[in-house]
C-alpha cells in the first residue's frame, strides 16, 4: 500500500466536569463525548524518508509542532520503520475550536501509518501512543461515544448513541484551552453527574441522559468572549436544546429535533456571517471503517 485516505471526525462534549488540578499540571476531568459528521480528511502517502505536511489552512502549522507530524515521528520511531510519510490535511473542523480537530488528525495519522506500513498494532497500542501526544487523542480511538476520565487518557467506550441532528457554529475566533483553564475557579465538584449520565446512556435512556448535558468551562468562555455567549443565545432562541460550548470553545453546538430545522438554522447563521453547519452525531468512528 502506497497511499491511504482517512476520515478524521470532530467531537462534542455532552458532559464535561473539571475535578481539579493534578500534580503533573494537567486537570482531572470527567467527560462524555460524541463524534460528529463534521470531519477532516487525512491523506497519507509513503515516502523513502522524512515527514512533510501539506494543508491549505494558514492557521495550521506545517512543521514539527503539528500534531500529525509529531504522531508520525512517534510511530515511526517506536516501530523502527525505515521510511517517511507525506501528510495532506483537508480541514473542515474549526482550528482551536474545542472540537478536537488536531487530536483527531493525530489519531488518524497513527491509525493510517499502522495500515500503510502493515504494522498490525492493535488500536489499544495506538491509544497508548496517542496519550503521549495530547489528552484528547485517545478518545478518537473509540468506536463511538466515550466516557473519558483522568486527564483524558482513561477512555471507556459507551453504547452507540442514536444519530442526532446538530447545528455546529463558530464565531470565527480561536481560544486557547490553557487560557480558559487559567481563568477557571473550581467549586467543590464530583463525578456523580457524569456517572449518572453514563448509566442512562448505557441503559438506552438517551432523552433522560441529555438532561445532564453540562460544561464546567462554559461560564468562563461565555464571560470572556461575548460573541460566544451571543451565539449560544441565538441557537436557544431557534429551538435548539441543549446548547453548549464544546470543550474550551469557541464552537457552540445545539441539538435539533429535525433535519430540516437544523439546516434552516445553519443557513440563517451563515447568512449573518457565522460559520455554521448542520450535521449529525456519529454512531461509529469512521476510522474503524478504513
Residues labelled as active-site residues: 11, 136
Which of 29, 30, 12 lies closest to 243 in space, CA to CA? 12
Which three three-digit cell numbers place residue 63? 512543521
What cell was used for 61?
Answer: 502549522
CA–CA–CA angle 199, 203, 205 (5° rounding):
90
Whole-Å CA distances, 233 to 41, 125, 227, 252, 269: 31, 42, 10, 10, 12
CA atoms of 111 and 109, how far apart (whole Å):
5
Q: Which helix (H) or strand (E) holds 209?
A: helix 206-210
Q: Are 28 and 20 within 8 A, CB to CB?
A: yes
CB atoms within 10 A of CB 210: 18
Report yes or no: 164 and 262 within 8 Å, Cβ to Cβ: no
* CA–CA separation, 269 and 261 (whole Å): 12
Amino acid at each position: 500500500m502506497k497511499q491511504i485516505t482517512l476520515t478524521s471526525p470532530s467531537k462534542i462534549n455532552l458532559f464535561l466536569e473539571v475535578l481539579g488540578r493534578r500534580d503533573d499540571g494537567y486537570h482531572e476531568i470527567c467527560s462524555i463525548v460524541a463524534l460528529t459528521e463534521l470531519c477532516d480528511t487525512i491523506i497519507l502517502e509513503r515516502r523513502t524518508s522524512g515527514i512533510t505536511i501539506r494543508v491549505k489552512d494558514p492557521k495550521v502549522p506545517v512543521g514539527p509542532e503539528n500534531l500529525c507530524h509529531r504522531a508520525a515521528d512517534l510511530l515511526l520511531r517506536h516501530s523502527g520503520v525505515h521510511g517517511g510519510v507525506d501528510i495532506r490535511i483537508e480541514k473542515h473542523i474549526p482550528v482551536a475550536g474545542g472540537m478536537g480537530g488536531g487530536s483527531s488528525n493525530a489519531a488518524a495519522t497513527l491509525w493510517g501509518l499502522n495500515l500503510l506500513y502493515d504494522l498490525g498494532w492493535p488500536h489499544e497500542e495506538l491509544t497508548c501512543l496517542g496519550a503521549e501526544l495530547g489528552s484528547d487523542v485517545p478518545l478518537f480511538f473509540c468506536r463511538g461515544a466515550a466516557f473519558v476520565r483522568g486527564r483524558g487518557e482513561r477512555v471507556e467506550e459507551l453504547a452507540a448513541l442514536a444519530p442526532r441532528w446538530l447545528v455546529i457554529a463558530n464565531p470565527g475566533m480561536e481560544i486557547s484551552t490553557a487560557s480558559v483553564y487559567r481563568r477557571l475557579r473550581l467549586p467543590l465538584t464530583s463525578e456523580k453527574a457524569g456517572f449518572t449520565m453514563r448509566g442512562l446512556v448505557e441503559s438506552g435512556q438517551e432523552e433522560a441522559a441529555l438532561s445532564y448535558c453540562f460544561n464546567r468551562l462554559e461560564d468562563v468562555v461565555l464571560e470572556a468572549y461575548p460573541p460566544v455567549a451571543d451565539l449560544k443565545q441565538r441557537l436557544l432562541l431557534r429551538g435548539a436544546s441543549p446548547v453548549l460550548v464544546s470543550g474550551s470553545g469557541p464552537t457552540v453546538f445545539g441539538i435539533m429535533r429535525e433535519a430540516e430545522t437544523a439546516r434552516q438554522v445553519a443557513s440563517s447563521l451563515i447568512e449573518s456571517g457565522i460559520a455554521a453547519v448542520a450535521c449529525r452525531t456519529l454512531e461509529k468512528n469512521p476510522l474503524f471503517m478504513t
